[in-house]
Amino acid sequence: MATSKKNIREFGKIFQYLKDPELRKKEVGDALLTVEGAEISGESFQYVDWSHILFRNCDFVGAYQIKIGNSTDVRYEDCRFSGIFGYGKTNRVHFLRCAWTDGSIGYAGEKSTALVFESCRFVGANPDRNHWGGVGSDGEAEFIRCTAKYFVIEGHAKLTLRQCEFEDTKCTPRSKESGGVFADVSIEDSKLRGVFSMVPADFQSLIIRDTLIEGTFDMTNATVKGDILMERVTAGVILGYVKNANSFTVRDSKIAGNGMDVFEAFAGGIRAISIEGTTFGVGSIRGGNGTDGVTIAGGFSLKEPTRTSSVSQSILIRDSKIPQLQSQHLNTKNLVLRKVEIGEADFTNTRAEVLELDDVSFTRSVNMSGAQIKEFKQRGTTDLKRLGRSLKLEGSNIKLPR
């Protein structure tokens, strides 16, 4: 990064105070230190504590020279970062209108709190992930109205994204980077384009609200200790085949798919799945849309019966439209569909204590071959007999009412 600013060594007392916080405290106490228009490069700041500092219009250049011990009440305004930086354990550190150049890295340490990036830019030029930059924290991090592309965005203990626009970015909260603390992840009022990857990741919870996903949101093989909630989301593809989660809820959303994939969730690893008020696919229910549709499947294997997952408590789909539903090999206590319009459904080899179909319309076909259901309930306008030969019950114990 080319810069014409004065080097920090030319700033006299300011430079001394940055190098020696004890000298600063002795001479001026906790008075705000303002550093403006400096190029901070070629000088080592290793494990010093910075507090009550305002950096304005500064360029940070270098690799590993800046590795702060603790940062408290530090603010960066209109600064640029090119290189590799460690902000230390932060408390009330704020980056405003700052920019990180291609491949640059800047992280706060474990147990960091109140770290905020506002109206910042993290934009790389190389789609090869081996060359992406990374910004965030092994503790908490909040991103507000930020723009990112070809970057890794992190908050290993807590991560919040609000009013952000991200394209082809990676976010992988991991408990091992946060001292064993699992992150609560919140994404609100944002736009995610390309692929937003959380592979691999382990976190406490995920909330996505009022967000546009123009591409793919990938959580494949993530471990979630708590709940996943997607509410008022417009999306292309949701790959939600997480290893574990307490619950997975999708509510009042539209998930269009990409012509191949639409939505998937591993029922064998999720205690409760709830789909409400959501439309899947871009085609009509009656004619299909050429996609694989919605996959909520898994729970046991016929080839390896000993590999039976924990029995899920409930799977509820309500007030929704699904061109194709793939729900093979389920192992659940309650499988309930209410006021759902489905083109075709496959429940092959599913096991459930209760299967309830209430006001469900199947317009093309249903395959329940090998399904073992202890209690089958067909209510309202549901009438599987209308499907005729398009209904398959071979090897199933389901008895339709006469």
Which of 178, 200, 219 is the last residue before a domain boundary? 178
Q: Do 170 and 294 share a domain, yes or no? A: no
pLDDT score, position 284:
45
In a domain, 237, yes or no: yes
Quickly list H helices, 20-108.
21-28
Which residues, at least 6 apart from 389, have a Cβ–Cβ distance to it below 8 Å? Answer: none
Say which amino acid occupies 389. R
pLDDT score, position 309:
58
Nearest-CA neighbor of 242 among 268, 215, 279?
268
In a domain, 4, yes or no: no
In a domain, 56, yes or no: yes
Residue 282 structure tokens: 């871009």
Q: Do 163 and 228 share a domain, yes or no? A: no
In a domain, 131, yes or no: yes
Q: Do 86 and 233 share a domain, yes or no? A: no
pLDDT score, position 288:
47
* 153-157, 200-204, 281-285, 334-338: segment of lowest average pLDDT: 281-285
In a domain, 10, yes or no: no
Question: Can you tell me the mean pLDDT for 164-174?
Answer: 93
pLDDT tens digits along 335-349: 999 999 999 999 999
Q: What are the angstrom distances between the C-alpha of 263 and each of 43, 204, 235, 297?
A: 51, 21, 10, 11
Band of pLDDT at residue 306, cut at 50, 70 and 90: low
Which of 139, 159, 178 is the last residue before a domain boundary? 178
Which of 127, 148, 178 is the last residue before a domain boundary? 178
pLDDT score, position 303:
62
pLDDT score, position 4:
80
What pTM was computed for the model? Answer: 0.92
Confidence check: pLDDT of 9 > 60: yes
Mean pLDDT value across the chain? 92
Band of pLDDT at residue 115, cut at 50, 70 and 90: very high
Q: What are the angstrom distances between the C-alpha of 360 and each of 308, 365, 382?
A: 29, 13, 5
Q: Name the β-bridge partners of 244.
A: 223
Task: Tell me which H or E stretch contains 19.
Answer: helix 13-19
Residue 173 near residue 154, CB atoms below 8 Å: yes
Burial class (CB in 10 A: 0-12, 13-18, 19+), 63: exposed
pLDDT score, position 249:
97
Host domain of residue 206: 182-401
